[in-house]
Amino acid sequence: MGLAAHVLFHRIPAKADPLGPDNVLGFVSGLLTGTGSLFTGRWMVTGKSPLTNGWGEANCGGNFSPAIKRCGVDGIFFKGISPEPVYLYVDDKTAELRDAADIWGKDAVETESILIDSSESRNTRVACIGQAGEKLSLISGVSTDKGRMAARSGLGAVMGSKKLKALVLAGTQRIHAHNPNEIKQLSRICNKWVQFQPPFLPGILMAFVGALLRIMPWGVAQDGFLYKISLRKWGTVCMNQDVESIFYFNELLNRAGMDSISAGHAVAFAFECFEKGILTTAETEGKELKWGDPDAVKYLIEQMIERKGIGDILADGVKLAAERIGNDSDQLAMHAGGQEPAMHDSRNDPGFALHYSVEPAPGRHTNGAWFYYEMYQLWKTVKNVPRVSYFFIKSSKYKKDINHAKKSKANSEYLNVMNGSGICQFGSFLGSRRIRIFEWLNAATGWHFSPEQYMEIGNNVQQLKHAFNIKHGILPRDNKACDRLLGIPVQTKGANKGCQVDIDVLMEDYWQLFGWDKETGVPCEKTIDKIASIS
Amino acid sequence: MAYAITSDCIGCRACKRICPSDAIFGKKKELHTVDTNICIDCGACGRVCPVKAVEDDVGLITTRINKKDWARPVVDMDTCMSCGICIDTCPARALDQALQKKANPHAFPFLPDESICMGCGFCATDCPVSAIAMGPRKGKKQTHKGT
């Protein structure tokens, strides 16, 4: 990830068109991928995002990350535009762009099957775009393993703009580490915790404890409990109770290579516009857009994939859709800096609101949150980061406290280390003492860095990504999450009753800690010198 | 380091046929060579060479071993954590994963067709929890006891 930040910062000229030839699209593996460490099979797609016009990144798992390394490289970068559809084929001997006319127009699952079947190697892995990327939908992603998606930031459209249908990797190179035995030792410690299942905490008891904590005024620091996003976007957000239809929608989007999070927001946005009379049946070919109607959801998804009618308006995300529709519909568009947030309600955890707003790729739920910080348990391995007490008063989350920004700063730095290492965020929720990223990195590279030095590297990567945004004319304040994500207007009933996030104070504290101007978020002179020295 | 072919080579192409990374070049009945940039040190060429014309990565001449006597991976399912690293690391794509233990939701690795395995031992080397040992061949085909 640090490699991508460096390459993109230098190689993409200021204010370059994200869908033009000057944009650089990068596919990078993790430093720890394939070394025998656990949870380290993540890879990232990076580039200038057409959705936010700033730093774009999307993270994905599966088998593609080791495949990049088995070709003998750490990352693959593309610049320019091909006149005809092509795909990249790489094996141990060659790297060549091949004609993709036969597969252009096919969905992601079909494309992957065709390319694997036609490959001369048994070790073939594929990442590709579906029809959404080809049609330059700004909410399209890159698909692999017939259903995994590097979905965020609209980087599928960048791939489509370059007429690059797929990457086919068939390398067989070995992935070496400095000290494989030490890596294995650390992996065994990690595995011990993965296998750990407390027999005295059955699910029903946990559900009872969860329900109890919800009504109590105090909270408990999270420790090692994983959560899972399913398709809440197609269920709760659209008020759809038909579970089977949710699986179907997911399959449609996976095949088309469209981001399920952003597409779900676009559909919900259309429903609300229709409810308020901003959209009418005249724009929807007579189709009534009613909350919870699976047929209406299916209609909108298919229209978005094909870019027909109302779908053409929605297929570029809610911010652009609101600009196209007008009529104050921007009040209904849920986004931060142009990117739709996930299902993680920032009114419950203001850390989400902060990370949605201040990160170089805004609106991504994996950027950080305070409950993520609780689970990372960084204070057990890193000096000078705030400790979280096991019990706290819930209302303290909404009060001014510099420790909030300190937690988020450490969160951002750690995330950059994790993304650079290829570590899965769910795995890192085991806690930094159980999943020993810093020690793995030393064992894999032969370096002798302390955790604090790795956090400083994470800080440098954050500075580069932030400087990338400044270079491309993104003003940090423009990425602020929309009002409804912050509890404006404040709710008078329900789970979020009275919850409002004072985002301006949090953003200013966070910017100051990174050496950015308190008012504008632009790096101060001293920080600019630092960025110049690291870039 | 990489494997190398000596001048004793008779060009029978046995090594070229088995090499999983296509690192061996040469015409039939002519001296073959190994591309050291591509060779992954699996040693399969040395195990099939009929004239002892292959040197390993430390310069020792390798000996031909009858294919039925090659060591094959044996998985200890009590230790294995189903991470799939062995499957990914196998250059011959000989391993697969399936449910094998009753009431256990984990898919463990197994060797569907032993004839594909080259006995390189990368799966055992790379297993983070040492759940794979290289042992004698069991039979022509292993079938998982699917549940």
What digits encode the pLDDT tens for the residues A367-408? 999 999 999 999 999 999 999 988 888 888 899 899 999 999
Contact B22 A191 (CB under 8 A): no
Question: Given pLDDT bands bounded at 50, 70 and 90, which one contains residue B114?
Answer: confident
Q: Taking CB atoms and an 8 Å cutoff, what residues of chain A touch B83?
A: 38
Question: Given pLDDT bands bounded at 50, 70 and 90, which one contains residue A331?
Answer: very high
A vs B: CB pairs below 8 A: 47
Contact A183 B129 (CB under 8 A): no
Tally of CB atoms within 10 A around A242: 16
Supply the pLDDT for residue A344. 86
Supply the pLDDT for residue B147. 39
Question: Given pLDDT bands bounded at 50, 70 and 90, which one contains residue B146?
Answer: very low
Question: Given pLDDT bands bounded at 50, 70 and 90, which one contains residue A533?
Answer: confident
Q: Taking CB atoms and an 8 Å cutoff, what residues of chain B touch A63?
A: 88
Question: Which one is predicted more confidently, A390 or A6?
Answer: A6
For A408-420, how does the pLDDT look when each residue is reduced to its tens digit (9 = 90+)? 999 999 999 999 9
A194 interfacial to chain B (CB closer than 8 Å): yes
Closest residue to B20, CB basis, from A38, A172, A194? A172
B20 interfacial to chain A (CB closer than 8 Å): yes
Average pLDDT, chain A: 91
Examine the pLDDT at B138 and tell me if it is beyond 90. Answer: no
- Helices A451-471 & A402-421 angle (0-180, nearest 10): 90
Supply the pLDDT for residue A226. 42
Supply the pLDDT for residue A376. 94
B96 interfacial to chain A (CB closer than 8 Å): no
Closest residue to B129, CB basis, from A63, A91, A191? A191
Contact A123 B93 (CB under 8 A): yes
Supply the pLDDT for residue A239. 83
Given its phi and psi angles, is residue A518 left (phi above 0), alpha (psi -120 to 50 degrees) or beta? alpha
Instruction: Report residue A345 as tokens.
Output: 């309600």
Note which residues in 145-174 of chain A have CB less than 8 A from chain B.
172-174
Contact A36 B91 (CB under 8 A): no
Q: What is the CA radius of gyration of chain B?
A: 17
Task: Report ipTM for this prediction.
Answer: 0.84
Q: What is the mean pLDDT of residues A335-362?
A: 93
Closest residue to B93, CB basis, from A38, A122, A191? A122
Element (H, E) at B88: helix B85-89
Nearest to A371 by CA among A325, A326, A404: A404
Tally of CB atoms within 10 A around A494: 8
Given its phi and psi angles, is residue A169 left (phi above 0), alpha (psi -120 to 50 degrees) or beta? beta
Closest residue to A188, CB basis, from B40, B88, B128? B128
Closest residue to B21, CB basis, from A36, A66, A92? A92
Distance in Å, alpha carbon of A220 to nearest chain B alpha carbon: 31
d(CA A200, CA A283): 57
Q: What is the mean pLDDT of residues A352-362?
A: 96
d(CA A49, CA A51): 5
B65 interfacial to chain A (CB closer than 8 Å): no
Examine the pLDDT at A532 and tell me if it is beyond 80. Answer: yes
Closest residue of A to B126, CA-based? A36
For residue A220, what are the β-bridge partners? Answer: A391
For B89-108, how does the pLDDT look when each residue is reduced to its tens digit (9 = 90+)? 999 989 999 998 888 888 99
Let me know: does B77 contact B58? Beta carbons within 8 Å: no
CA A320 to chain centre: 20
Sheet holding A55-60, edge to edge: A55-60, A43-48, A25-29, A75-78
Q: Taking CB atoms and an 8 Å cutoff, what residues of chain A touch B21?
A: 92, 172-173
Let me know: does A477 contact A503? Beta carbons within 8 Å: no
Cis check for the bond before B91: say yes or no (omega within 30 of 0). Answer: no
What's the helix, strand, coil split of chain A in %, to 5?
Answer: 45, 10, 45
Nearest to A373 by CA among A421, A347, A406: A406
Closest residue of B to A177, CA-based? B126
For A33-59, how does the pLDDT look when each residue is reduced to its tens digit (9 = 90+)? 999 999 999 999 999 999 999 999 999
B11 interfacial to chain A (CB closer than 8 Å): no
Element (H, E) at A132: helix A131-134
Give the CA-trace dihedral at A28, A31, A37, A41, to 10 degrees: -10
d(CA B134, CA B145): 21
B88 interfacial to chain A (CB closer than 8 Å): yes
Examine the pLDDT at A148 and tell me if it is beyond 90. Answer: yes
Supply the pLDDT for residue A184. 92
For A196-242, how does the pLDDT look when each residue is reduced to its tens digit (9 = 90+)? 777 666 777 777 777 777 777 777 666 644 444 546 667 777 888 88
Question: Which one is predicted more confidently, A427 or A534?
Answer: A427
Q: Taking CB atoms and an 8 Å cutoff, what residues of chain A touch B126?
A: 36
CA-based angle A196:A197:A202, to the nearest 5?
165
Distance in Å, alpha carbon of B35 to nearest chain A alpha carbon: 10
Distance in Å, alpha carbon of A344 to nearest chain B alpha carbon: 29
Distance in Å, alpha carbon of A222 to nearest chain B alpha carbon: 25
The percentage of residues in chain A with a pLDDT greater than 70, rounded to a whole number, is 96
Distance in Å, alpha carbon of B13 to nearest chain A alpha carbon: 19
Closest residue to A172, CB basis, from B21, B83, B128? B21
Supply the pLDDT for residue A213. 73
A526 interfacial to chain B (CB closer than 8 Å): no
Nearest to A163 by CA among A58, A56, A87, A107: A87
Question: Given pLDDT bands bounded at 50, 70 and 90, which one contains residue A160?
Answer: very high
Hey, which of A120-124, A251-255, B101-105 has the most confident mean pLDDT?
A251-255
Examine the pLDDT at B137 and tell me if it is beyond 90. Answer: no
**Any idea which of A341-345, A421-425, A504-508, A509-513 has the lowest mean pLDDT?**
A341-345
Note which residues in 90-129 of chain A have CB less than 8 A from chain B.
91-93, 122-123
d(CA A475, CA A511): 13
Nearest to A513 by CA among A469, A477, A446, A463: A463
For A462-512, how does the pLDDT look when each residue is reduced to its tens digit (9 = 90+)? 999 999 999 999 999 999 999 999 999 999 988 888 889 999 999 999 999
Q: Taking CB atoms and an 8 Å cutoff, what residues of chain B touch A430?
A: none
Q: Taking CB atoms and an 8 Å cutoff, what residues of chain B touch A123?
A: 91, 93
Backbone phi, psi, residue A33, to 5°: -55, 130
pTM: predicted TM-score of the whole model, two decimal places: 0.92
Q: Taking CB atoms and an 8 Å cutoff, what residues of chain B touch A180?
A: 125
Let me know: does B79 contact B101? Beta carbons within 8 Å: no
d(CA A45, CA B26): 39
Q: Taking CB atoms and an 8 Å cutoff, what residues of chain B touch A30?
A: none
